[in-house]
Copies of this chain bind each other. A is one copy, B any other.
Amino acid sequence: MIQTAHGEVQTPAFMPVGTQGAVKSLTPSDLQDVGAQIILGNAYHLYLRPGQEIVRKAGGLQSFTGWHRPMLTDSGGFQVFSLADLRKITEQGVRFQSHLDGSRHEFTPESVMRLETDLGADIVMAFDECIPYPSPRDYVEQSTARTARWAERCQAEFRRLGPERRHPQALFGIVQGGTYADLRVRSAREMTGIGFDGYAIGGLAIGEPKTATWEAVAAACSALPPGKPRYMMGVGFPEDIVQGVALGVDMFDCVMPTRNARNGTLFTSRGKMAMKNAKYAQDFGPVDPDCDCYLCRCFSRAYLRHLFMAGEITAAHLGTIHNLRFYLSLMEQIREAIERDRFGAWRNEFSERCSSVD
């Protein structure tokens, strides 16, 4: 359990992604209905639009977005490094061009701490470099060392800004190190040495083989302090979350459930369903008979398929409600299994259910 200024977050937790200050197609009321306890905003996107000044004047992200519960902002590291040709890294920070209008900007550890203080989420992430996969060991080593130096600068600036906060904020460091287990351990030790309220494992699920992902997570976890939250960034499929929990991860975020929903792919207790498939045209049963969401309680597969085929926004809305409910209900099951000390048994049952793909 994580305590924040806007309430408790039970762990393991999944955080729906609200890139631009809204989880796409949903409202805060919908998010409460599906059982979300914390959501994520992207500092890079909010910096460009509407800009930190407007969010600050609105009283911070919660007040601006109407989601008066826990929030986390990433640091923009992942987004900025995704810009590829549009950015240049120095020791000072990163100069980049906006993907919206090509305008020039710079992120430094200090400017990002100011940005995240203005945005005012309960948990804020240090500024890091998300290293591409594959990358030569030399580069990963240099970049990870710079991320550690940036983490120290973030920590110092975050403390300096303390008196300006409206409410307490927690700062998380980010472990990098690519797919090199020893560099992950080294990075985890460096971050622990600096000392953060929690630790993220970044730079994974970006194209590397699954075995490499889990090796890196295990290595990082082995060197992180036991009493602090661990957050695996940008992950993932339901089975990845279960695996992450098995390795000791407490927090996850991913656009998977929301993006897939908008494309018509729904997660269910029996596997994934491509809702546009013609076989659902006259299927008047619920999408997932085991699901308690609004979609599954009140509408048929045939109706949802029709809405997707007809390009209706309501399809994205209902699909997103369902997929998030699936993810959040999964987390509820995991937490209950852990509490009852039967996570291993639950995990076996889960794997069996998931292998019977619809």
> A residues within 8 Å of B by Cβ?
20-29, 45, 49-50, 54, 57-58, 64-66, 281-282, 284, 294, 298-300, 302-303, 305-307, 309-310, 312-314, 316-318
The distance in angstroms between the C-alpha atoms of A314 and B313, with both chains bound, is 10
The distance in angstroms between the C-alpha atoms of A292 and B314, with both chains bound, is 23
Contacts of A23 in B (CB 8 A): 314
Known: A49-B309, A49-B310, A316-B313. A302 touches B58 (CB 8 A): yes
Partner of A300, one of B45, B49, B58, B299: B58
Assembly stoichiometry (copies): 2
Known: A29-B294, A298-B66. A306 touches B24 (CB 8 A): no
Closest 9 CB pairs of A and B: A25-B313, A50-B306, A22-B314, A20-B310, A66-B298, A22-B312, A66-B299, A64-B303, A49-B310
Q: Are B306 and A21 in contact (CB under 8 A)?
A: yes
Q: Are A50 and B281 in contact (CB under 8 A)?
A: yes
Known: A21-B310, A25-B314, A50-B305. 7 other contacts (CB 8 A): A20-B306, A21-B306, A21-B307, A23-B314, A29-B294, A49-B306, A64-B302
Partner of A307, one of B22, B281, B305, B317: B22
Q: Are B302 and A54 in contact (CB under 8 A)?
A: yes
A316 shortest CB reach to chain B, Å = 6
The distance in angstroms between the C-alpha atoms of A23 and B22, with both chains bound, is 21
Instruction: Please list 29 pairs of residues, one from A and one from B, whose beta carbons are closer than 8 Å in the complex, sorted by A's number.
Output: A20-B307, A20-B310, A21-B303, A21-B307, A22-B312, A27-B294, A27-B314, A27-B318, A29-B294, A29-B298, A45-B310, A49-B306, A49-B309, A50-B302, A50-B306, A50-B309, A50-B310, A54-B281, A54-B282, A54-B302, A57-B282, A58-B284, A58-B300, A58-B302, A64-B300, A64-B302, A313-B313, A313-B317, A317-B317
Contacts of A299 in B (CB 8 A): 66
Interface centre among A50, A309, A318, by most B CB within 10 Å?
A50
Considering only CB atoms, which chain B residue lies closest to A26 in the complex? B314
Interface centre among A23, A29, A64, by most B CB within 10 Å?
A64
The distance in angstroms between the C-alpha atoms of A28 and B314, with both chains bound, is 10
Considering only CB atoms, which chain B residue lies closest to A65 in the complex? B303
The distance in angstroms between the C-alpha atoms of A307 and B229, with both chains bound, is 32
Known: A64-B303, A300-B64. A312 touches B28 (CB 8 A): no
